[in-house]
Amino acid sequence: MYDFAYHKPASVADAVKILAADPDARPISGGMTLLPALKLRLNKPTSVVDLSGIAELHGVKREGDKLVIGALTRHGDVASSAEVKAAIPTLAAMAGTIGDTQVRNRGTMGGSVANNDPSADYPAALLALGATIQTDKRKLAAEDFFTGMFTTALEVGELVTAIHIPIPTKAGYAKMRNPASRYSMAGVFVAQTASGVRVAVNGAGANGVFREKAMEAALSANWSPDAVAGVKVDPGLLNGDIHGSAEYRAHLVTVMAKRAVIDAG
């Protein structure tokens, strides 16, 4: 990789100050996405700002009818968190399937959310659960935050600090992994929330994570696997690669939606 300067601020304010002053600086939390990209020399930041020393960004807590998860909370900690398991067991289970053990020991929810990899798990969960992404400046609803493949509403120097997740009545998740990379090739998160049934899809969308409104309507009318079994997704909206054509992914979205409903119970 190319060399860069390294900073390890102790507060969000200090981190933001460095990042705002230099558009080519990059924040790093777990580094599970940034470091592989740097190793392949796909990225040439002037400096890397390590957020891991910012104590306020760690941890999971329950605040009334929602979970508040610090941006630096690792996938492994989400997976094993008693609060998450009690409130949204599917979210804990999903976190336990992100990457591999070593990724879960380093990777963070904030990092995953800010990166918005189309095949990452969390964005679909947050979109389906109607989560709010809190940054150092503002709060954004998940649908306003995730704007497209690898893109978010974050401005230069803006940091995700926490994720607020309303606790759903029910939620379920199922995904088909890419056989080689093991990232999601088609994953569906379904939830019964205070604002209705929400269904979000990762891995398949040509423009990243998206809500599947026809499935939401079908499940609102009849919460059962059969209700989504007949809902077809338009392959024209999906991406394809050697492991899964758009047509195959469209089919998988329906299958995973069924399985997510079964998972939700």
Measuring CA to CA, which residue among 10, 8, 12, 9 is closest to residue 134?
A: 12
d(Cα 129, Cα 170) in Å, to the nearest integer?
Answer: 10
Backbone φ/ψ region at 50: left (φ over 0), alpha (ψ -120 to 50), beta: beta
Least CB distance to other proteins at residue 108 (A): 13
Binding map of other proteins across residues 164-183, x = CB under 8 A, - = no contact: ------------x--xxxx-
Q: Which of 113, 135, 192, 252 binds other proteins (CB under 8 A)?
A: 252
- By the rule CB under 8 A, 163 interacts with other proteins: no
**128 touches 198 (CB < 8 A):** yes
- Which lies closer to other proteins via its Cβ, residue 48 or residue 264? 48
Least CB distance to other proteins at residue 90 (A): 18
- By the rule CB under 8 A, 43 interacts with other proteins: no
Least CB distance to other proteins at residue 176 (A): 6
Binding map of other proteins across residues 52-81, x = CB under 8 A, - = no contact: x-----------------------x-----
d(Cα 151, Cα 145) in Å, to the nearest integer?
Answer: 9
CB atoms within 10 A of CB 155: 10
Least CB distance to other proteins at residue 141 (A): 32
- Which lies closer to other proteins via its Cβ, residue 1 or residue 214? 1
Q: What CA–CA distances, in Å, run from 172 to 99, 108, 111?
A: 19, 21, 23
- By the rule CB under 8 A, 187 interacts with other proteins: no
> Phi, psi at residue 219, to the nearest 5°?
-75, -30
Q: What CA–CA distances, in Å, run from 234 to 208, 213, 237, 253?
A: 15, 12, 6, 10
Least CB distance to other proteins at residue 179 (A): 5
Helix, strand, or coil (residue 183): coil
Measuring CA to CA, which residue among 108, 102, 98 is closest to residue 27?
A: 108
CB under 8 A: which stretch of 14-22, 24-32, 163-171, 201-209 binds other proteins?
A: 24-32
Q: Which of 36, 61, 224, 262 binds other proteins (CB under 8 A)?
A: 36
By the criterion CB under 8 A, which residues form the site for other proteins? 1-6, 8, 28, 31-32, 35-36, 38-41, 48, 50, 52, 76, 99-103, 105-106, 176, 179-182, 241-245, 248, 251-252, 255
